[in-house]
Structures are given as structure tokens and as C-alpha cells.
Amino acid sequence: MTKALFIIDVQNDFTEGGALGVDGGAAVAAGVTTYLSGHRGEYELVVASRDWHDGDSDNGGHFATGEPDFVDTWPVHCVAGTPGAEYHPALDVSGVDVHIRKGQGRPAYSIFEGTDEAGRGIAELLAERGITGVDVVGIATDYCVRQSALDALEHGQHVRVLTGLVAGVAPESSAAALAELGHAGAEIVAAEA
């Protein structure tokens, strides 16, 4: 199997102290760095995604204009070019082959909704490299990790979610997301750094 690693949204705004920080986010950043240093050779392709939202709009209703409902509308986060949109400093991206930006004026939860610097989508990049399996790590288990893994399954990939290297918004919704992914055909693996 030719594999890719998806590192989902390990950004300052999604880690402790950020606009939408989750508990364990900084530990995920450090854990992914350690994991990648020991497992880089297993992956034909390593891809990291980032929310990269416009600062001058509500991004298609993604940014709340009043009180956020934390389902479809959110506080302002990961605005392009701001410190909140940058990768967490504990995440070493030197082993990353491709950087995907998602959002950019519209709601986007999945890595499949973004593009690289050349405007190519992840499905095209996976096909180019003959990737048949994807391991998924990052933030947040119950939102962007969930949707990216579901979309990878939809694209015919063998998907593993490495539970020691994800962090979610809430324990209940994270457990539900992992159960949903398992039911959909993903392997839920307790891999850690």
C-alpha cells in the first residue's frame, strides 16, 4: 500500500489559547512531530492542511456576525496571514511535502475542499502519487479530522485515524465522530508518537 499522512489543521487558533483552542492541541502538535520523525519513511506523501480564511468577510457565513452557534457559525479564526493561522510552533513541518489551504472565503472542514499553492486539490495529488491509504492526525477530531477522513473514504482510500494524535472540541462529539468513522470503514488505531 502506498500511503499518505494527512496532518489536519494543527494551527495556533485551534490549540490552547487560540480563538477556538481545544484541550490537547499543543500535545498533538508535539506528538505529530515525534511521530513523523520516526515514521516519515512509511509515507509517499505528507500533507498538512490549514484553515486560511479571509479577514474581510464572514467567509460564506462561517464567521458568526452575532453569537456563534458552534455548529455552522464560529468566532473569527485562522485569518490568512495572522499568527492564529500559522502552524503551532511544536509542529515541525520540514517533513511536509504539500501544504493545503482551505476556507478562503467559504466554509471548509475537509482537506479535500482546499488547494495547494498551484491550485491543485488533494484528490489529484493522491492520484498522481498512486496513494491507496491515508493516515489522519490533527485537530479537531469531531470536525475537520472527521470530515477529511470521511472524504478520504469516499475517494476510495483505506483510512486510519491515529487516535493518540488527534484532539477534539468535546469528548462526546469526538467519541461519536470516531464511532461514525469506524462504522464508515476507517480503522481507528491507538497509534501515538
Query: Per the residue annotation, which of 3, 9, 51, 151 is the catalytic one?
Result: 9
Q: pLDDT of 16-58, one tens digit each?
A: 999 999 999 999 999 999 999 999 999 999 999 999 999 998 9
Angle between helices 146-154 and 171-184 (to 10 degrees): 10
Q: Which residues pair with 161 in a beta bridge?
A: 136, 188
| Architecture of the domain whose range is 3-189 | 3-Layer(aba) Sandwich (3.40)
pLDDT band at 192 (very low <50, low <70, confident <90, very high): low
Catalytic site residue 92? no
Catalytic site residue 9? yes
Query: Per the residue annotation, which of 102, 135, 142, 151 is the catalytic one?
Result: 102
Q: In the chain, what are the domain boundaries?
A: 3-189
Residue 78 has a pLDDT of 96
Here the cell at position 16 is: 490552547
What does the mean pLDDT of the chain come to?
A: 95
Catalytic site residue 102? yes
pLDDT band at 71 (very low <50, low <70, confident <90, very high): confident
